[in-house]
Structure formats: structure tokens, C-alpha cells
Homo-oligomer: A and B are copies of this chain.
């Protein structure tokens, strides 16, 4: 038996697991990231998780360790630059350092790119050569697959669709720019806007679900309401789909790509969100692209981080 280790490096936790060559999770574990201490501490935590997994596969062959990391990733030495949510970390050769500890092949990619590779190898993008993967969560992540490979750009930072301006005069984004699509549909931005609008929608089921506490508002609550047919909640997803679809259409025009795969927690909103994204793209994209437009739900769901990271080795 052979297995791959996939490591999903987050700001708080490291989720790691063994994955079969077919993309099935065999065993899973998690440890604190300890990012506040510094990159060396993170390396130790990753090595610890890998060790735990190896203990569960005695006598089996490890093919390598794939790591999905926040921040810009340089393939040379698996260098991670300025990852958000990991303090005391500027530029660090993560792949090389983890390699020294675990004694096996290590590949590092940006987490959004890793998610895209996961969908390409094992998920909704299987057999495709060109697509955009969007992860809708705290932020709006993007990984672009061009000609069967991650499109990395000059220094590995490509695919930042979350920071596509959809309104030059729009709300302030965490990146410092105004009107990025993330400033409309990133988890906190979306929740804050809905909390404000709720005052004008006293009949919405959302009010009941949060029991009057706007702090409790999160995309999952809005989805619960829309699933039960709440008109305002459905309208929220329709609007969010318009924002997302506008950014996707611009990317389609720039890359001459016509498939988008959508994952992440916010994507659980399902049909009202996806229908609006698809309608918006079809309306806004240049005419030669219209007949090719495809909007797909990501398949790897909860374990996308681990499986995507493992896919870096499967490649």
C-alpha cells in the first residue's frame, strides 16, 4: 500500500491526512498551527502531524507530503511569502524545512491553487484542461487551471480573483483596495451587510434564526433561511451571485476560459446562489464565450484542503 500525506495549513489549525492515490482520505488528524510562535514552530507541528499519520501506516510506503499554504508560494524550495493569519512569518522556505524533518518529497502550493489541483485530479474538474476554481469563505480564493496546470504567473501569486474590482467606488476590502468582490461576498462583509439590511426586513426568517443577535449572523444561517424559502435570504444569494458572476465573467474574458468550479463554506447556499452566478456570467461574458459557460459545484467539500494538498504529490 502507498499513501500521500496532504497538509492543510491554516491560521489556527493544521489539518493533515493520508490520502490514497485515488484521492480517498484514509486517516485524518489535526494539530494547532502555532503560527504566532513563528515558521519553525509551524514546521515542527507539521512534522508531528506527519509522524502521527506514518504511525498509522506502518509498513506502507509514503509517496510524499503535499502542503497547501496561505500566502504567495514560490515553487523553489516551497518558499511561502507573507501568509495572512500567520504572524512572525515573512519569507520562509517551508518545503525545504519540512523536507529535512520528514525525509520525503515535499511540495508546497498556495491553498487556493491546491484546491484547484484537487478538483482537477479528483473532483469536478477531472479530465478538464481549463477552469477557474473559486473558494468562497472568509476570503474569496482563486486557483486557475490553464492547459492542465496551475497558472502561477511571474512569482506564484496568480489567480487572485477575490481582489477583482467590481465597483471602483465600492466598500473597503481587507487588501486596502475598494470594491473587490471579496469586499462584497467575503464571509464577514456579507454578514455585516445582511445585518444592516435586516432592519428593513423584519419578517425575514433570519431574524428568528439569530434570535435578534447580529453577532450570530453567518452565511450558514442565511442558507438555512433560503432553504426554507425565505424571500429576503434568497434575494441575498441572488445579489451575492451577481457580484461573484461579475468577477468571474471578467476572468473568463481575460483568460478565455469558460468553466468555474465553486467551493468553500459559502457555496453551501446552493441553488439560489449558483443560478444567479450562472445567469450573471451568461449575461456579462463576451458573446463567443456564452455557449461554453459552465458553473460547477466543487466535489471535495470539507476535505478539499487535505485532498488538494495531496494532489500536489499525485501530479
Residues on A close to B: CB < 8 A?
72, 81-82, 129-130, 142, 144, 146, 151-161, 163-169, 175-179, 242-243, 246-247, 249-251, 253-258, 283-289, 292
Q: How far is the CA of A230 from the CA of B38 in the complex (A)?
A: 55
Taking a contact as CB atoms under 8 Å apart, the answer to whether B288 and A81 are in contact is yes
Report how many copies the assembly holds: 2
A191 to chain B, nearest CB (A): 21
* A-B residue pairs in contact (CB < 8 Å), sample of 16: A82-B288, A129-B154, A130-B154, A153-B257, A154-B258, A155-B288, A157-B256, A158-B254, A158-B255, A158-B256, A161-B254, A165-B249, A166-B166, A168-B243, A178-B284, A251-B254
Taking a contact as CB atoms under 8 Å apart, the answer to whether A177 and B284 are in contact is yes
A234 to chain B, nearest CB (A): 19
Closest to A177 in B: B284
Taking a contact as CB atoms under 8 Å apart, the answer to whether B250 and A163 are in contact is yes
Checking B152, B156, B249, B288 against A72 with a beta-carbon cut-off of 8 angstroms, the contacting residue is B288
- Known contacts: A130-B153, A250-B250, A254-B251. The answer to whether A167 contacts B164 by CB under 8 A is no
Checking B153, B168, B257, B287 against A167 with a beta-carbon cut-off of 8 angstroms, the contacting residue is B168
* Chain B residues in 8 Å Cβ range of A168: 166-167, 242-243, 246
Checking B159, B249, B286 against A254 with a beta-carbon cut-off of 8 angstroms, the contacting residue is B159
Taking a contact as CB atoms under 8 Å apart, the answer to whether A283 and B177 are in contact is yes
